[in-house]
Every structure is written in C-alpha cells, then in structure tokens.
Amino acid sequence: MTESNRIDIDERIAALVRSVHAEVPAELEERIRTAARNEERKLRARQRVLRWSLIPAAAAALVLGVFLASPVAHRPVPREIAEIRTEFEIPGKDIKIVFFQKPDFKLFQED
C-alpha cells in the first residue's frame, strides 16, 4: 500500500466519521452535565473521607514504629527467680554446704 493510498483511506474515514455527527438535544446535554457534576461531587466526598480515615492509621503506624525503635521496647523485663538450691561437698571431709536462694531475691536491684 502506497503512501497516497493510506492518506486517501484516512481522509475517507475522517469524512465518514464527520458525516455521522449528530447534535445532542439541549435538554439531554444538560441532564448529562448535571449527572457528571453530581458524580464529581460524590467522588470528591469519597476522596475526602478516605483522606481523613488514613490520617489515624498513619499516626498509629508512626507511634508503633517509634515505640519499636526506642530502647524502651528492647529493655529486658526484670523477673523474679525461682528458689534455687545448690549443694557442695568437700571431698575427704565430712562437710556439705547447701545454699538456698529464695524467690524474693532481687536479681537486678543494687544496694
């Protein structure tokens, strides 16, 4: 297909498209424009609600991130220890040493 044939076909298609152009009645056009404006208002309202609903979620994520990054979240929790019984025997002598560590012993408390 030559260049002139393509141009001729393009012109014929353009002429056919222009030939079927019809006028839209004014009443129908006004209804279409009103419906489009109403849809645009609804869309803006939905976007506004979405925007305001994302703010608390983003704030909660920020607070959680700050907490997890802080040293407070990674500090070990002091726990009480269970009762511990330790026995030692000295060989060759009749001596047995027994240590009891009670649960109220404060492991992380300094005097």
Q: What is the pLDDT of residue 108?
A: 65
The yes-or-no verdict on residue 62 having pLDDT over 90 is yes
Per-residue pLDDT averaged across 102-109, rounded? Answer: 67
Q: Give dist(CA 80, CA 104) in Å, integer.
A: 7
- Report yes or no on whether pTM surpasses 0.85: no
Task: Give the residue, 77 or 111, on which the prediction is more confident.
Answer: 77
- CA-nearest of 77, 57, 61 to 69 is 61
Tell me the pLDDT band of 39, cut-offs 50, 70 and 90: very high
Task: Give the residue, 56 or 7, on which the prediction is more confident.
Answer: 56
Both tokens of 93, joined, read: 């002598």
The structural domains of the chain, with segments of one domain joined by +, span 3-76
